[in-house]
Amino acid sequence: MLPFDPGKKQNIGAIARCHGLWLDTGQGLLYIYLIMSGLILDLKLSLKYSLDVRIILVALLYYFAARLGYLFAFENSTALPAWPPSGIAFALIILLGRQTWPGITIGSLLANIMAYWNNADIEPQTIILISSLIALCNTFEAVVGNYLVKNWIKSDFPFKSTKNAYRFLFVSLLMCLFGAGLGTWGLYFNQMIDETSIMRAGFSWWVGNVVGILLFTPFILSFAEKITFRIPAKKMTEVGIFFLTLIGIYLLLQVEYLVPTLERALPFLVLPFLLWLAFRFDLIVAITGILLTSLISIYFTIKGEGPFNLADPSSSMLLLQIFMGVMSISTIILSATVKERLEVQTKLQVFNENLETMVLERTSALKEEISSRKKIEEKIQRTNQELSKRNSELDNFVYSVSHDLRAPIASVLGLINLAKKDIDIHMKDMYLDMIHKSTMQQDLFIKEILDQSRNSRLEVKREEILFQPLIDETFNQLRYATNAVQSVEKVININQEQPFFSDRWRLKVILNNLISNAIRYRNGRDPVIRVNVDITNDAATLAIEDNGKGIEKDHLPNIYKMFYRATDDGAGSGLGLYIVKEAIEKLNGNIDIESEVGKGTRVKLQIPALT
């Protein structure tokens, strides 16, 4: 952005008006649309032509973006809330390559000379010197950002993962710090600003450039990606609700006695809608919403209206910048997180679809391995005995895994055949419910296998444990897995007055299995689950009690064995308490279970603190 000396009473709005750039809102938005449309069109065409054409294109776009930036000026202020050329230059150098940096220098030089030229207080030689200095700083800023993107993020579109999105934010802050810092010191040594205003000028420069990058760079980079402007039918309802809500807010603003309150609350009312755009649509949709919201906010704040209008213009601008920055950062991070999650879900879905084949292939391979080992039994008897034992255990595990994975699939296939033949709608609903239960059973079994694998491989991690949110999180997750949670009375007593350190993931696995067992084997009437936690200096004592069906005494000695079921109702996999026992042993703790048929079960855990 262009810094100005407050002591010389320079006014960006006056300079913009003398160049004929001050437009009303409709004209301003049209101007932005034309620049962005031309930017994307010319950008795609320029990739096919020579370096000279690309440099000229960058220079022109930077110059017109700078002219657009003057529209964001506050009256009697020396800084801009956002500097679009910083974001546009950063996006162009990423897309067109580092060799286009002269275009940034040329565009910045022309924009600064035009901004200063009509100022009679500054000599032409000084104008050229200062404009050259600022142009070099703007160029250096973009080059540094491009270098960090290419060598650290290593992606021209750093919004596909949360990690790269955070790196993009750090790169934006750092590159603007270089540009604003060097430029501010250059102005100070050329006596354009004094010691009293150097910090304020540098900070305004830096914040304006950062906001410009957060608003415009993702917007341009998103257009460079493959975009499909198609709204699925299932999202049309959401879009309708979105517009109805906006209309509702507008109607509320027409109520006179609500206007003062709602006007101040508008930033809070707008933020959920913008986050919804990031959560449900591609980044281009969300960042467009952010850009339009920012431009509208700037327009009304300049007019002295809206929630960001304060007594001091500088304070108004800073509040507006914070709002735009928080909106942009939140949207970018959320969009990247959602995109990353969808990619993981897609991979997991493909993996689940191929899981049965993988298990069968692995089973066949294991059988061949067992057969080959038996052939050398006469040569190495002692070794063969150990191998035979391990192979037997592994064979039992594979058999149980393949049986529990295939049983729900066979059930689903059979129910589908029945549903095809039955024309009764009520029966089809019943079939669908049964199919849902079978798939949930398979999903639970796979999760337990993964928990066991992870528990055996991962090292114990020391973390501070807060039991109240941990237990609440467990109940909340089980609420989505089964509707039975809503019918169970929860009594939770936690005595934690001091920090406790343990492995959070393993504690979560332990609580999830024990509480889900209490829910699954509840009694028919007035089910109650009591969770008591007592923390001392060196240990945590947990007691989980229920008034459920209970366990017969004959089964208690075997309940920790792999795939052992104390009941034949088929509700569990026989892995839950086995995993609990393994996880507790990793934490050097112990478990004791007392149960009586028809009265319930009490599980007591003693877990030492990790030091």
Write down the pLDDT at residue 147. Answer: 92
Question: Which of 550, 465, 443, 553 has its CA nearest to residue 510?
Answer: 465
202 located within any domain: yes
Question: Which of 223, 211, 199 has its CA nearest to residue 319?
Answer: 211
465 and 452, same structural domain? no
CA distance 559 to 579: 11
115 and 91, same structural domain? yes
User: Which distant-in-sequence residues (6+ apart) come within 8 Å of 320 by Cβ?
Assistant: 81, 297, 298, 301, 308
- pLDDT score of 29 more than 50: no
- For the entire predicted model, the pTM comes to 0.51
Region for 570 from its dihedrals, namely left if φ exceeds 0, alpha if ψ lies in -120 to 50, beta otherwise: left
Kind of pairing, strands 489-495 and 528-535?
A: parallel
467 and 439, same structural domain? no
196 and 64, same structural domain? yes
CB 87 within 8 A of CB 142: no
Domain boundary, last residue among 204, 227, 250:
227
103 located within any domain: yes
CB 146 within 8 A of CB 175: no
CB 506 within 8 A of CB 460: yes
- Highest mean pLDDT pick, 402-416, 468-482, 523-537: 523-537
533 and 405, same structural domain? no
Residue 166: which domain range?
Answer: 6-227
Helices (H) and strands (E) in the chain, counts: 18, 7
Joined together, the tokens standing for residue 137 give 């700083």
Write down the pLDDT at residue 566. Answer: 65
Q: 483: pLDDT confidence band, cut at 50, 70 and 90?
A: low
Strands (E), 320-472: 463-464
CA distance 405 to 544: 30
Domain boundary, last residue among 427, 456, 485:
456
Strand-by-strand arrangement of the 528-535 sheet: 489-495, 528-535, 539-546, 600-608, 590-596
426 and 481, same structural domain? no
- Dihedral sign of CA atoms 135, 136, 139, 140 in order: negative
Write down the pLDDT at residue 139. Answer: 92
187 located within any domain: yes
Write down the pLDDT at residue 388. Answer: 67
Question: Which of 563, 559, 560, 561 has its CA nearest to residue 550?
Answer: 559
Q: Which of 257-271, 494-508, 535-549 has the lowest mean pLDDT?
A: 257-271
559 located within any domain: yes
Question: pLDDT tens for residues 241-290?
Answer: 767 777 777 677 677 777 677 777 778 878 888 888 888 888 888 888 88
- Of the two residues 188 and 530, the one the predictor is more confident about is 530
- Highest mean pLDDT pick, 77-81, 94-98, 226-230, 395-399: 94-98
Provide the 8-state DSSP code for 569: S
What CATH number corresponds to the domain at position 421?
Answer: 1.10.287
Long-range contacts made by residues 421-427, C-beta under 8 angstroms, separation at least 24? none
172 and 85, same structural domain? yes
505 and 452, same structural domain? no
Strand partners, 593: 603
492 and 397, same structural domain? no
CA distance 224 to 40: 7
Q: Which of 163-172, 198-207, 439-448 has the lowest mean pLDDT?
A: 439-448
Write down the pLDDT at residue 53. Answer: 86
Question: Which of 1, 4, 14, 2 has its CA nearest to residue 193?
Answer: 4
Domain boundary, last residue among 456, 480, 508:
456
